[in-house]
């Protein structure tokens, strides 16, 4: 039976890498007594996949993991079994039978927390908003054949920055989730390359929601 788990990954668990997250979820499911279906072949492995790999250090409220079981428990029963089996910071939000393929995800909403140790002025906020409203936002990307400049503006649908307090700014944006993928780190990298005076001293991003090509919530 095919299922989809939506889970949160925050706090200390945001440092668990993509591969380690796969291993961690496998073990957690075994602890929960969930019976993975295994692939056939010489080296059988549990049938499971995480959508949209999350960079180490980023948080998420909407991670998706598709998995198959050999039996067909109720989704509520699966969710109940997942209680208390994950490391700190990972928590199951929903289990459901998926109607759509994760390949249909096109956009995601991200929130960044930008820290400026030297303080945030109103001018800085408007400069930031102004910069991210420009028609092209170039970041330098390392590729196999050397550095390449990429315009990420088409991968961003509206970015809004607001001041939270004396040193922190909240960034909210909707960015391309896959094909192509925009890593939210690109916001910081773009500032670093072009507007060093606006670069935060520290930034952490959090995935909030997923959307399809029509900007309808994906589930």
Partner 1 sequence: MDNRLERILPRVQKPARYTGGEYGAVYKDAADVNLRVALCFPDTYEIGMSNLGLRILYGLANAMPGVWCERVFAPWGDMEDEMRAAGLPLFAIESGEPVGAFDVIAFSLGYEMAYTAALNMLNLAGLPLRSDEREGLTPLVIAGGTCCYNPEPMAEFIDLFLIGEGEELNGEVYNALRAAKAAGTTKREFLREAAKIPGVYVPSLYDVSYNDDGTVSRVAATDGAALPVVKRVARDFAAAYFPSETLIPSTEIVHDRVALEVMRGCVRGCRFCQAGYAYRPARERDPERLRDLAVQALQASGYEEVTLSSLSTSDYTGLLDLCDGLLDWCEPRRVSLSLPSLRADNFSIELMQRVQRVRKTGLTFAPEAGSQRLRDVINKNVTEDDLLTTCRTAFEGGWGAVKLYFMLGLPTETDEDVLAIAELANRVLFTWRTYAKNKNRGVKITVSTACFVPKPHTAFQWEPQVTEREYERRVALLREAMPSKSISYSWHDAHTSRIEAVLARGDRRIGRVLEEVWRGGGRLDAWGEYFDYGRWLAAFERCGIEPDFYATREREVGETLPWSAVSTGVSESFLLREREKSRAGTVTPSCREECSACGANALCDGGVCYEI
Question: Which stretches of the chain bind partner 1, using CB under 8 A?
Answer: 11-13, 15-17, 20-21, 23-24, 26-31, 33, 38, 44, 56-57, 85-89, 201-202, 204
- Residue 219: DSSP 8-state: -
Q: How far is the CB of 28 from partner 1 (least distance, A)?
A: 6
Q: How far is the CB of 101 from partner 1 (least distance, A)?
A: 28
Q: How far is the CB of 91 from partner 1 (least distance, A)?
A: 12
Choice between 1 and 204, CB closer to partner 1: 204
Separation of alpha carbons 61 and 8, rounded Å: 4
Among residues 155, 160, 158, 209, which one has the least CA distance to residue 178? 155
Per the structure block, which two tokens stand in for 49? Answer: 């996949």
Q: How far is the CB of 136 from partner 1 (least distance, A)?
A: 27
Per the structure block, which two tokens stand in for 192? Answer: 């670093």
Choice between 15 and 96, CB closer to partner 1: 15
Per the structure block, which two tokens stand in for 81? Answer: 């079994």
Choice between 73 and 87, CB closer to partner 1: 87
Note whether 67 and 48 are within 8 A (CB).
yes
Residue position matching structure tokens 């509206």: 158
Q: How far is the CB of 121 from partner 1 (least distance, A)?
A: 22
Choice between 26 and 129, CB closer to partner 1: 26
Three-state SS across 104-119? HEEEEEEEEEEECCCC
Choice between 57 and 154, CB closer to partner 1: 57
């Amino acid at each position: 039976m095919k299922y989809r788990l939506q889970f949160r990954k925050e706090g200390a668990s945001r440092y668990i890498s993509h591969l380690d997250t796969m291993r961690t979820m496998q073990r957690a499911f075994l602890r929960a007594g969930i019976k993975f279906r295994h692939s056939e072949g010489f080296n059988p492995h549990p049938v499971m996949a995480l959508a949209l790999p999350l960079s180490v250090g980023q948080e998420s409220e909407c991670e998706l993991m598709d998995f198959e079981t050999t039996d067909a428990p109720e989704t509520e029963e699966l969710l109940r079994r997942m209680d208390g089996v994950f490391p700190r910071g990972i928590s199951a939000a929903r289990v459901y039978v998926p109607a759509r393929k994760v390949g249909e995800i096109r956009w995601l909403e991200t929130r960044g927390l930008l820290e400026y140790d030297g303080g945030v002025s109103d001018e800085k906020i408007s400069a930031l908003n102004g910069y991210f409203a420009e028609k092209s936002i170039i970041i330098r990307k390392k590729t196999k054949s050397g550095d390449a400049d990429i315009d990420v503006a088409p991968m961003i649908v509206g970015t809004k920055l607001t001041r939270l307090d004396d040193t922190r700014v909240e960034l909210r944006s909707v960015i391309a989730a896959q094909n192509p993928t925009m890593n939210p780190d690109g916001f910081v990298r773009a500032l670093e390359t072009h507007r060093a005076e606006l670069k935060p001293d520290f930034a952490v991003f959090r995935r909030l929601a997923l959307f399809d090509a029509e900007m309808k919530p994906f589930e």
